Structures are given as structure tokens and as C-alpha cells.
Structure 1
Amino acid sequence: MGVPILLAVTGAPWEADVVRRAEGAPGIRVVRRCVDIADVMAAAASGQARAVLLAEDLPRLTSDAIAALHSRRIAVVAMVDPSDNGEPSGAEDRLSRMGIERILPADVSAEDLGRAITDAVESGPPATVSHFAGGFVPYTGDPPNEPPRPYGEGTGRVIAVWGPTGAPGRSTVAVGLATELAAKGMPTMLADADVYGGTVAQQLGMLDETSGLAAAARSAGGGSLDVTVLARHARQLNSHLLVLTGLSRADRWTELRPTAIESVWLTARMLAPCTVVDAGFCIESDEEISFDTLAPRRNGATLATLEEADEVVVVGTADPVGLTRLIRALHELRAAVPSAKPRVVVNRLRSGPLGNTPAEAVAEALSRYAGVQAAALLPFDQAACDTALAHGRSLTDAAKSSKLRKAIQGLAAGVTADLLS
């Protein structure tokens, strides 16, 4: 009978030739012709095909759609115009970034076309890539029309800063950690991925009318995101620190699709040795929406960030309510993202709510109820935070000798040691 496929090459200059070859190719049979990706998804949902053959410029084609097709165990094969000199074209790079592994020239023979589609179906969807190896490329103030300069080789690390509801100080820790890593000479990118109320731009005195992360996600969805494009979307705070600003309004959360966010972090691994991400608090999964792979999920960006992160810095508050939330959050994180490697940070440590020995009380509670044997303790230092916020600067610049800044320095030193180990 042959492998049933969907054909979506409408509008391509070589449409007629491809249709003729596809209908005569051995081992496959065309069950439906589609006009755009929405038509493809509707046909795929019916279960009538095992592969899709599409044109490079198919309307509304995005990485989310490709991921949805792969989730249905449907192979995706793309066709591009043959390049003049045989070199890979820009279209091939864009399609590859979307997650399409099988890319054929439009003049492929019927025999080779049938063989390629059959092989794609037998091989199954591509495996999820968890790391993107390559050279680190920090953006160090080069002219905007020049690409970033290479920096060594290796795999960049992603550190997610996350914690429960109640404003335990996630953004303060994320900004402090990123600026301290940059102060040590490590090229670092700080990204604000809080879909409920990101404040990184405000804390650093930046105008945030345009979200760098949303722009990067749009580029990722269209398959055009690479190291140079990501560096262009980021803002340069100093010679070793890039900032990818977050959403200016919480109702724009639909712009941060999980698939696009994963692509942003994979590209970030090539941009800097370390990427620090300020993530939203909620990791609840909507069971009804999760059945629709194309439906937007507000917490999808946070879950994707935690799954991609090499380490999760979990921030809680040093008071009875904050510790209870922190302990519950640690259990929720282990259930939602079993692969997560948490580093616990207890913020706003002070005498009073936890008695005269707050450090001992924190250690006992975390050990007994969460199985955590060691946690970084950050002192309550409202004066230092007020000074930094008033000047729109980090603690590294605005309160260099504060107790809180020195404690975050110690946290950064521990993270650096793990990065270099």
C-alpha cells in the first residue's frame, strides 16, 4: 500500500513537478494535499498519514508545529530550491533550526524521494537535544554589524533561578548571581523568563518596551535564531554581561512558547559560558490544555526552562511561611522535573521569625522535611536592596560592601566552581 503522506507544497514554483513525482514515487502514497500548516495539523490529527512532505515557504510554518507533528510520531520532510553552488542554503539552516532533519532538493528523483520518506518514517522523530555543543561566543561590544567573536570551545551552562510564590527574591538572586559571575570575568547572559511579572529590566534601570526574550522566541519559532541574532536581541550591560529583557506585560505570556524557549536556551549555550534565567514561580500543568499540543500553556516556558537547566537555584524566604512554601516547592520540582539539580538558597535570613538562631532552624527544617543537607543563606539587607533599586543598578555596583552582596559573591563562587569542575 505504501506509506501514507500529506503533501503541502502549495504555491511553490516547482509544485506541479513535485506532485507528479510524489504520486509516482515507490513506497509512498499521497492521501491529502494541504494548503498551509493549519491544514496539515488538521489532517495529522485524524491519523490518516505517517509523514508530511512540505515546501520551505509553507505559510505559518513554525517550530511549534514541527514539534507537534513529531509528538504524533509523524515524520517531516522538507523540500527546498536547489542552491546554485551546491552549498547549504539559508532555507536549509532555518528548517534545521525548526527541528526538520530531512531536507531534500526540489529536483530529487521519485525513487530518492520515496526512499527518503520511508527512511524518515522508519527512523522515527528526531531525539530531543539537551545540549548544543560549540564555541562560546560572548558579545563584547563589537560593532553591531559585525558577528560576535569566538570564545574558546565547550558547552554553555544554563542556570535557572526559581522558587515558590510569595516573592522570595528570585529576581534579586538572579540579577546578583549573573552580575557576580560577570564581575569574575565570565561572559554571562541574564534572561528574564518570568511570565507573571518579570522585573529584571526595572531592577537594572532599563527601558523594557521591547522584550528581548519575546523577540528571540519569535526568531526561534521562525527558524532564524542563531548566535548572532540572539546577541542582537540582548542588551549589553557591560563587557561581560548581556541581558535578555522579559515581557513588559503579563498578558503577553503567549509569546513564550515552550518549543521556542528551548531553542533560545540551546542557542544561549553557544553565546556565553553561563546563562542565568529568572523563571516564573508556577509549574502547574493544565491537564485539559496539555492534550492539545498547539494550545498555549502559561507555565510551559517555566517548565521548559527547568527541564533545560543544568542547575536550578531554588529560592525561599527565611520565615515560617516562606520555609513551608520552599519545602513544598522542592517536592513539586522533583515531581514535575525529576532531572532537576536543585541548589537551595534561603533569602532574608534574620532573627525574629525563626528565633535567635535562624540558621540552625532553617537547616533543621530543610533536612527533616526536604532532605536538603546544605543551603546557601542570604542575610536580610533591605538597605542594600533599596539602594540598588533606587539607582537601577545591581548590588555589585550599588552596594559593594553590603552583607547581602558578599553572600551572593559566595553563591557565585560555588556556582563557578561547579561550572569549571
Structure 2
Amino acid sequence: MIDVLVAVGHGWESRLVTAIDEVPGVRVARRCPDLADLLAAVAAGHGDVAIVSADLRGVGRDAVARMSGDGVAVVGASAEGDEPSERVLRQLGVETVVHPGLDRDELRERLGTAARSTARRADETQVDAGGPGGVGDDGKVADDEPVRGRVVAVWGPTGAPGRTTVAVGVASEAAALGVPTVLLDLDTYGASVAQALSMLDESPGIAAAARASELGTLDLVSLARLAPEVAPGLRVVSGVVSPQRWPELRASAVEQVLELARGLAPLVVLDLGFCVEEDEELSYDTAAPRRNATTLTALAVADDLLVVGAGDPVGLQRLVRAVQSLASVPSPQPRTVVNKVRAAAVGPDPRRRISESLERFAGLTGLVFVPDDPAATDAAMLAGATLAESAPSSPARLALRALAADLLDVEVPRAERHERRGLRRARTRSR
């Protein structure tokens, strides 16, 4: 027996309920007057399928995700021929839609398929299926698998190690190397990409994208409008203008934004907040927004991860602890970037000293070093420009360009390799 919860606000609700009651093996367990009552019934385990209409007040992607997460299949309902409502429901993540006029066999088939599909996904979540979808037994991607952009997450501990500097640098250098890139600011504690690139503080950015996702109106075209091109090949989705607005970024909405961003450009770079704690859930008796869910969601879907730490004793200690904390967080294999490297903070030959310390205390190897160049970074911030625009010969800029080229597996132009060698010789003579 499939128990159905119904929450639709139309005059045809009675016809829909009557049609469901006539289906063998299916019964209406509860008619919910609003979304709050529906969510309570789902949380209490009163149904196997929840039927909602597109104009149910408050229904959005987050509510659909919450019900699916509770093991209840979410099915949409609309009048026959109401294509706009069906489109909204599907954009909210609802895959199955029913109508009051469906015959019993078709209604039973759709409700049963939805319930079985949700139960199967719940089982797969508990059991490691082993490997991403779209990859066959021979390790090759299926021919019909659509091309998806690569997501690079930039994350690091508290203390301003330079996450935004690295994220902006990698994104801008990738675009300059001929790879169209989207930079998303997902820092819910201190978003600063817009300020770094002289974007208007009132630009809608990620908050508008998340809101559109919740309403089921976000698609590739609307996301492109929210991601203005600030340099050739570089689009930017700015962060929340105030840290107090973090509840607007629900995990399900962020997940859809990231999925659409993959179709917007071959490379997606994420600037993330520092905190990955999940204990905030314990502060509530009921389901509530989680401030760190944005970062945790981004880490879980990312293809590559750059962990940024500052090249001083305090920054390195925080970096070691940050890398250790990733062991309990779903995320890609981290690649460590040591930023603001200078002899004044750790002594002569800072790269060797830092390499030895991090390998000894954290087992970290293959480090990427970004030299400290406060004059260049200050000039870039003052101008609201990238390092490539304001200080193209800066050692920090050249290190970030090399990192971007390595991530993309492309060659740095020959002229720039000569420039870097010249800078190294000049520094050697000065020492």
C-alpha cells in the first residue's frame, strides 16, 4: 500500500483525491492545507509520496529536497495542459507530474515509479555505489554523457590566508590562458570577490541565483545574466552583500547553481568560507538552515580542491589542522597552496623550511608556493583589478598563473617562462 500526502491549493483537488482513492494499492493518508502541515507529516513518516502543486505557498527547491531526504517521493500536480506549472515543478527538482484526469493505470504507474525510485536512491545513499555516474566498467565516459565544466574549490582555515586572492588569481589566469571561467563567491562569512574586482555592492549575484532556484525559475540563461563578464572569458557571480543574509543560500539551491555553472563555462572556481563544522544542526529541535552547508555542499561536488594557508608559524599551524579536519568531510584530494611566503616570517630559505615542517607534521608534499608581494596585492585591491592587470610581473601573479596552467594542463607562454627565469636570476643576484 502506497500512502499519499496531498497538498494542492486548486479547485481540482477533490477530483485528484477521488482519482487517487480509486487506484488499487494507493490511498490518501492525509490532505494537508499548507506546506508546514505537509512537512510535519513527512517528518512524522505518515506517507510514501507527497503531491504538491507549483503554487503551493512556500514550496521551493529546499522543501522538495527536505522531503526527498526524508525518503518521501515528491510528485507534482497540475491541471491537464498546464505546461507552465509543469515546467516550474520540474525546475524545482520534481521529476513526476500527475493530473486529475489520468486513468487509474497511468496514475498507479507514475506514483509507484516515483516511490520506488526514491526508495532506491535512499538505499544507494547508504551503500557505496563506488565511482561517479556516467563511467562504464571500462573506465570510459559514456558517449552520451554531456560535457560538464570542472569545479575547483578554493578553501582554507580562518585567519585570512588569502583564499580570495588565490581564487581570483586562478580564475583570472585561467581565463587569460584561453579557458572560459566562472568565479563564484560562496563565502557566507565574509564575501569579498565583488570588492576585489570593483563590482557594484548591490549586484544580485549568488543570492538572486539561490532565490530563483528556490522558486524554480533558475536556468542557464538566467544564471548567465547573474554572472557578468568582468574580463575577457571571466564571469563572476558575486557573494552575499552582508553576512547576515547567509540563510538565503540553501544547500539544495547552491547545488543547482553549481550544476548549471558547469554548463556555463569549462572551469568553475569557488571561493569558500573557512568553517566546515556540522555541529550547528544540534542547536535546533527542527530542520533549519545551516550556515556551513554552502561550503560543505561545494566541497562535496568539487572536482579539485586547493587548500590555502599562510606562510607564517600561526598560518601553518592552522593549515595543518585544516587539512586534518577534511578527513571527515566529503571532498576531493586536497592540493596545498602556501600563500604569503617570506623569509621574514620563517627564516632563510622559507620554501625548504615550510616543506620540511609540513611534511613532518602533516605528511603534506607537492606544495604550491605563492611569494608574499604586498605592494602588488595592495595595488590590485586599490584598483579593483586582478594581479595580471595591475602587476603582471609580480612574483605572486606568476606563481598563480603557473598554478592555473598546471590545473588546466596547459603550457605557460614561452615569453612568460623567460620572464620568470629573469626574475629568479634578479632575485639571486640581489641575495
Q: TM-score, normalised by structure 2?
A: 0.86
Q: How many equivalent residue pairs?
A: 394
Query: Does the alignment pair 1:159 with 2:152?
Result: yes
Map of 2:107 onto structure 1? 113
Question: What is the CA distance between 1:291 and its match in structure 2?
Answer: 7.3
Partner deviation per Cα, 1:59-94 (whole Å, 9 max, x = no partner)? 21111111111111111111223338xxxx343333
Aligned pair partner of 2:407 in 404, 410, 415: 415
Map of 2:162 onto structure 1? 169
Map of 1:348 onto structure 2? 340
Question: What is the CA distance between 1:98 and its match in structure 2?
Answer: 2.1
The CA distance in 2 between the partners of 1:72 and 1:211, in whole Å, is 32
Aligned pair partner of 2:370 in 347, 368, 378: 378
Contact 2:29 2:47 (C-alpha < 8 Å) held by counterparts: yes
The CA distance in 2 between the partners of 1:178 and 1:115, in whole Å, is 47
The CA distance in 2 between the partners of 1:283 and 1:231, in whole Å, is 29
Partner deviation per Cα, 1:136-178 (whole Å, 9 max, x = no partner)? xxxxxxxxxxxxxxxxx61101111100000000001111111
Question: What is the CA distance between 1:58 and its match in structure 2?
Answer: 1.7
Residues 286/231 of structure 1: CA separation in 2 closer, same or farther (3 Å cut): same
Question: What is the CA distance between 1:296 and its match in structure 2?
Answer: 0.8
Q: How does 1:333-412 map to 2 (within 5 A)?
A: 333-337=326-330, 339-412=331-404
Residues 333/293 of structure 1: CA separation in 2 closer, same or farther (3 Å cut): farther
Residues 132/408 of structure 1: CA separation in 2 closer, same or farther (3 Å cut): farther
> 1:154 is paired with a residue of what secondary structure?
coil
Aligned pair partner of 1:30 in 28, 31, 34: 28
Map of 1:183 onto structure 2? 176
Map of 2:143 onto structure 1? none
Query: Does the alignment pair 1:94 with 2:92?
Result: no
The CA distance in 2 between the partners of 1:229 and 1:331, in whole Å, is 38
Question: What is the CA distance between 1:320 and its match in structure 2?
Answer: 1.0
Contact 2:176 2:232 (C-alpha < 8 Å) held by counterparts: no
Question: What is the CA distance between 1:42 and its match in structure 2?
Answer: 1.0
- Aligned CA RMSD, in angstroms, stands at 2.3
Q: Which amino acid aligns with 1:322?
A: G
The CA distance in 2 between the partners of 1:324 and 1:262, in whole Å, is 32
Q: How does 1:64-83 map to 2 (within 5 A)?
A: 64-83=62-81
Question: What is the CA distance between 1:418 and its match in structure 2?
Answer: 8.4
Partner deviation per Cα, 1:240-289 (whole Å, 9 max, x = no partner)? 11110111111011111111111100010111101111000011112544
Q: Which amino acid aligns with 1:186?
A: V
Question: What is the CA distance between 1:236 and its match in structure 2?
Answer: 1.6
Question: What is the CA distance between 1:369 and its match in structure 2?
Answer: 2.2
Gaps of 5+ in 2: 126-130, 135-145, 412-431
More helix by share: 2
Question: What is the CA distance between 1:370 and its match in structure 2?
Answer: 2.0
Gaps of 5+ in 1: 134-152
> 1:353 is paired with a residue of what secondary structure?
helix
> 1:158 is paired with a residue of what secondary structure?
strand
The CA distance in 2 between the partners of 1:288 and 1:278, in whole Å, is 23
The CA distance in 1 between the partners of 2:24 and 2:167, in whole Å, is 56
Map of 1:4 onto structure 2? 3
Contact 1:25 1:111 (C-alpha < 8 Å) held by counterparts: yes
Q: TM-score, normalised by structure 1?
A: 0.88
The CA distance in 2 between the partners of 1:19 and 1:242, in whole Å, is 48
Contact 2:32 2:38 (C-alpha < 8 Å) held by counterparts: yes
Contact 1:132 1:269 (C-alpha < 8 Å) held by counterparts: no
Q: How does 1:8-407 map to 2 (within 5 A)?
A: 8-10=7-9, 12-83=10-81, 89-125=83-119, 127=121, 154-286=147-279, 288-289=281-282, 294-337=287-330, 339-407=331-399
The CA distance in 1 between the partners of 2:237 and 2:35, in whole Å, is 30
The CA distance in 2 between the partners of 1:105 and 1:336, in whole Å, is 42
The CA distance in 1 between the partners of 2:302 and 2:64, in whole Å, is 23
Partner deviation per Cα, 1:91-132 (whole Å, 9 max, x = no partner)? 33332232222222342113321232223223325748x989
Contact 1:77 1:102 (C-alpha < 8 Å) held by counterparts: yes
Q: Which amino acid aligns with 2:271?
A: D
Contact 1:70 1:125 (C-alpha < 8 Å) held by counterparts: no
The CA distance in 1 between the partners of 2:120 and 2:239, in whole Å, is 30
Q: Which amino acid aligns with 1:409?
A: R
> 2:41 is paired with a residue of what secondary structure?
helix
Contact 2:307 2:335 (C-alpha < 8 Å) held by counterparts: yes
Contact 2:4 2:30 (C-alpha < 8 Å) held by counterparts: yes
> 1:352 is paired with a residue of what secondary structure?
helix
Partner deviation per Cα, 1:294-347 (whole Å, 9 max, x = no partner)? 40111110111111111111000111111110011011112222x422111000
Partner deviation per Cα, 1:8-67 (whole Å, 9 max, x = no partner)? 122x24222212111222111111101222111011122221111222322211111111
The CA distance in 2 between the partners of 1:119 and 1:154, in whole Å, is 29
The CA distance in 2 between the partners of 1:125 and 1:96, in whole Å, is 19
Partner deviation per Cα, 1:364-407 (whole Å, 9 max, x = no partner)? 12222222211110000001001101111010111111111111
Q: Percent identity?
A: 43
Residues 93/126 of structure 1: CA separation in 2 closer, same or farther (3 Å cut): farther
The CA distance in 1 between the partners of 2:207 and 2:120, in whole Å, is 26
Map of 1:149 onto structure 2? none
Q: Which amino acid aligns with 1:227?
A: L
Question: What is the CA distance between 1:293 and its match in structure 2?
Answer: 7.1
> 1:57 is paired with a residue of what secondary structure?
coil
